[in-house]
Structure 1
Amino acid sequence: MEDIIEVSVIIPTLNEEKTIGRCIEKIKRVFKEYNIKGEIIVADNSTDKTPEIARSMGAKVVTPDGRGYGYAYIYGFRYAKGKYIVMADGDDTYDFLEMPKLLEPLMKGEADLVIDTRLKGKILPGAMPALHRYIGNPILTWILNLFFGVGVSDAHCGFRAFTREALEKMNLKCPGMEFASEMLIEAKRKGLRIKEVPITYYPREGESKLSSFSDGWRHLKFMLIQAPDWLYFIPSGFFFLLGVLLLVLGFLKINIGVVPGTYSMVAGSLFIILSYQVMNFGIFSKLYGIKHGYFEDGKFVSWITKHLNLERGILIGLAIFLLGVTYVLYLGHIFLSQGYSKLPFRGEYMVGFTLIVIGLQTIFSSFTMSTIVSEGC
């Protein structure tokens, strides 16, 4: 009978011949000291001697059929047999001798995913650039916590451990560096227990594979796409309130230090139209994400899909459109009754034009929503 693997260690490598040997040696020391039946899987895309060194030291080397930090891990996970899975880079910046710190909460049933934190641990001189330590990592971690409520201090620490059950629950797809953020977002969405433990972070040997601004943007872009409430609905609400405020102030000529007038109402109309369009984009994003398993089905979108089908959307849009047209026809009547004299430009006229635009947006948006929900059928 084949021995049951307790711990699988996954290491993605790209030309780490200087350090991969030390990493594997440390892992084997932990396995021996703690009497762990484990395996080491190296997901390698190197052009140097990294794979040969790894194989010679007893690691299983697999070659991902695609490129990218995240893809290397996802590919390596396919070969993992362990009850617990540990992941970390092969550049020896993370000390694998600290691996028991990650495994202990899992084995005690206190967590489903354990992530190390460098910012609450010790960062040795030269290990992390000041830009990452004091600006990039804290800001991106703060955004992640704000958007998703993950509650970690170092979202981009790559030394992590989790149970096999946790891995099977997480829908991990990102091939790039944003994989680190995706894992935490997925863990939170699936209700997994996340725990942090402090570690020591060491300087790496050789050239870093990170690109500060492009990798930072990838993380930020991914988080924004994954958080349509923050990307679409909150700005939409702000634009709507601002638009209504400008319209009301302009219509009532309320003195707020200045007396808003026609152009304030024009601006208010534009903000309301912008608000409506941004909200529609948010609904489209939510519907697409729910359909493809990225988001949970929220109450707002669930209500929309239940009550606002294509036909109702068209009727509502047509009604709004006709209200606007009626108002514009009324202005035309005034123009004609005055013998084609010049019709003075007034902010109140923007109400009719705003209704026309929103009515048309509602009609076309209804078709788009129907396409997303039914895939055109």
Structure 2
Amino acid sequence: MPTLNEEDGIGECIERITTALEELKIHGEILISDSSTDRTPEIAREMGAIVVEPDGKGYGYAYRYAFERARGEYIVMGDADTTYDFESIPRLLEPVRDGTADICMGSRLNGEIRDGSMPTLHQYIGNPLLTKFLNVFYGAGVSDAHSGFRVFTREAYETLDLNTDGMEFASEMIMEAGAKDLHIEEVPIIYHEREGEETLDSFQDGWRHVRFMLVNAPGNLFSIPGIMLGVVGLAIMAIAYSGLSIGGVSLGPHSMIAGSLLVLVGFQVLCMGVFATVTSDPIRRPTDPITNWMTSSLRLDRGVTAGLAMFGLGAVYAGIMISQWIASGFTQIPLLMADIAAFTAIVIGLQTVFNSFLMSTVASQ
């Protein structure tokens, strides 16, 4: 248990854990990762717990510091504010002990949330939305991704590459588990009202979770939106350029410009997904074929060649338009649609050339 001034609840939590261990008839240790300025560590030691003091700050760091010092085959984690009933440990331990799950979580949203134990905003908006994010982006398949009451094997812990120090640690564990195909089961639990002062900053901590989930899934953040923007933009440009009528309505130059802008933005956003994949080690790597091809096959010489070819086609087309305009004595304005298509190709070509150099630079560092 990580503790920060939990003297009001630490005693009750230790009593519940002791009851659970007696029911299981197994030997266990109660490890407190403490950063308190009140009597929390004294109370814990008096009740037989082992107290360690992390040499760094943060919720996640406190957990990681304690996990490295835990000696058991199975690890139970939870908050020391009495919100989790640790007498339920046997129910969460069972699927892990039987080998049917690598991690078992206590689900508050599938269980019972007592009055006053969770803010309405968290219960009906925050936690469900964050859980939805995790399930969509990382395939976690859980109902309550941010429940802090969890049981897992030491082997599962060593499989996870956990690095965060803050509140996003709760998300990181599930993201890593989903990305590495660890099996997660859930058990409904009762969530109780806490003892002591609340230390959670709802909006700041919620944003940290969302930001962490997004930056570790560059495919969802960059690649897929970029591809969608590009496809929509190309479709609009093709319809506008061909003069095809849809429902009696023809797309004109303004639609052509809008399509061009979507293509340019989409291509750059897609390139951001490639850069994010190459320069970092995201938990969930992009799975779309375009990003995978660009990250694995596209080299500086190929990128520059493709960019120059695209630039050349656009430049030749634009040159023809300009020469016709000059030949007419500057009286016949070239077709606007053709100009937009040509200059779109020129810009995409330049983007490809310079992005190839940038990717080569960052990839070599």
Do both share a fold (TM > 0.5)? yes
Look up the match of 2:333. 343
Alignment partners' CA distance in 1, 2:119 and 2:176: 28
Alignment partners' CA distance in 1, 2:114 and 2:286: 44
Deviation at 1:294, TM superposition (A): 3.4
> What is the TM-score when the length of structure 1 is the normalising length?
0.92
CA RMSD, Structure 1 to Structure 2 (Å): 1.7
Deviation at 1:65, TM superposition (A): 1.9
Contact kept, 8 Å, 1:310 with 1:370, in 2: the verdict is yes
Alignment partners' CA distance in 2, 1:234 and 1:280: 11
Corresponding residue to 1:81 among 68, 71, 74:
71
Alignment partners' CA distance in 1, 2:40 and 2:81: 11
Alignment partners' CA distance in 2, 1:145 and 1:272: 30
Quick one: which amino acid aligns to residue 273 of structure 1?
L
Deviation at 1:137, TM superposition (A): 0.9
Look up the match of 1:12. 2
Deviation at 1:241, TM superposition (A): 2.1
Alignment partners' CA distance in 2, 1:146 and 1:107: 28
Instruction: Write the deviation string for residues 354-374 of structure 1: whole angstroms up to 9, x where unpaired.
Output: 111111111111122223332
Instruction: Indicate yes or no: 2:254 matched with 1:263.
Output: yes
Comparing 117-126 with 49-58, greater Cα deviation is found at: 49-58
Contact kept, 8 Å, 1:17 with 1:49, in 2: the verdict is yes
Closer, same or farther: CA 331–155 of 1 in aligned 2, 3 Å: same
Look up the match of 1:236. 226
Alignment partners' CA distance in 2, 1:198 and 1:254: 57
Contact kept, 8 Å, 1:87 with 1:158, in 2: the verdict is yes
Quick one: which amino acid aligns to residue 171 of structure 2?
S
Q: Within 5 A, what are the aligned runs for 1:171-210?
A: 171-210=161-200
Comparing 156-165 with 238-247, greater Cα deviation is found at: 238-247
Look up the match of 1:249. 239
Instruction: Write the deviation string for residues 24-82 of structure 1: whole angstroms up to 9, x where unpaired.
Output: 12212222232211111111111111111112222111112222111111111111111
Alignment partners' CA distance in 1, 2:135 and 2:72: 30
Alignment partners' CA distance in 1, 2:99 and 2:349: 55
Closer, same or farther: CA 304–252 of 1 in aligned 2, 3 Å: closer
Look up the match of 1:71. 61
Look up the match of 2:283. 294
Corresponding residue to 1:354 among 344, 347, 350:
344
Contact kept, 8 Å, 1:15 with 1:47, in 2: the verdict is yes
Closer, same or farther: CA 284–115 of 1 in aligned 2, 3 Å: same
Contact kept, 8 Å, 2:240 with 2:256, in 1: the verdict is yes
Look up the match of 2:124. 134
Contact kept, 8 Å, 2:304 with 2:353, in 1: the verdict is yes
Quick one: which amino acid aligns to residue 231 of structure 1?
L
Corresponding residue to 1:162 among 144, 152, 157:
152
Deviation at 1:297, TM superposition (A): 8.1
Gaps of 5+ in 2: none
Alignment partners' CA distance in 2, 1:293 and 1:323: 36
SS at match of 1:122: strand
Instruction: Write the deviation string for residues 193-250 of structure 1: whole angstroms up to 9, x where unpaired.
Output: 1100011100012321122222221111111112222211221122112211221221
Deviation at 1:299, TM superposition (A): 7.5
Contact kept, 8 Å, 2:217 with 2:284, in 1: the verdict is no
SS at match of 1:118: strand
Closer, same or farther: CA 299–145 of 1 in aligned 2, 3 Å: closer
Deviation at 1:191, TM superposition (A): 1.6
Contact kept, 8 Å, 2:219 with 2:287, in 1: the verdict is no
Identity percentage of aligned residues: 50
Look up the match of 1:281. 272
> What is the TM-score when the length of structure 2 is the normalising length?
0.95
Look up the match of 2:208. 218
SS at match of 1:39: coil
Deviation at 1:122, TM superposition (A): 1.1
Comparing 360-369 with 265-274, greater Cα deviation is found at: 360-369
Alignment partners' CA distance in 1, 2:133 and 2:181: 19
Corresponding residue to 1:122 among 98, 101, 112:
112
Contact kept, 8 Å, 1:263 with 1:347, in 2: the verdict is no
Closer, same or farther: CA 307–170 of 1 in aligned 2, 3 Å: same
Q: Which runs of 4+ in 1 moved over 6 A?
A: none
Quick one: which amino acid aligns to residue 223 of structure 1?
M
Comparing 50-59 with 112-121, greater Cα deviation is found at: 50-59
Instruction: Write the deviation string for residues 258-282 of structure 1: whole angstroms up to 9, x where unpaired.
Output: 3211111011111001110011011
Comparing 101-110 with 85-94, greater Cα deviation is found at: 101-110
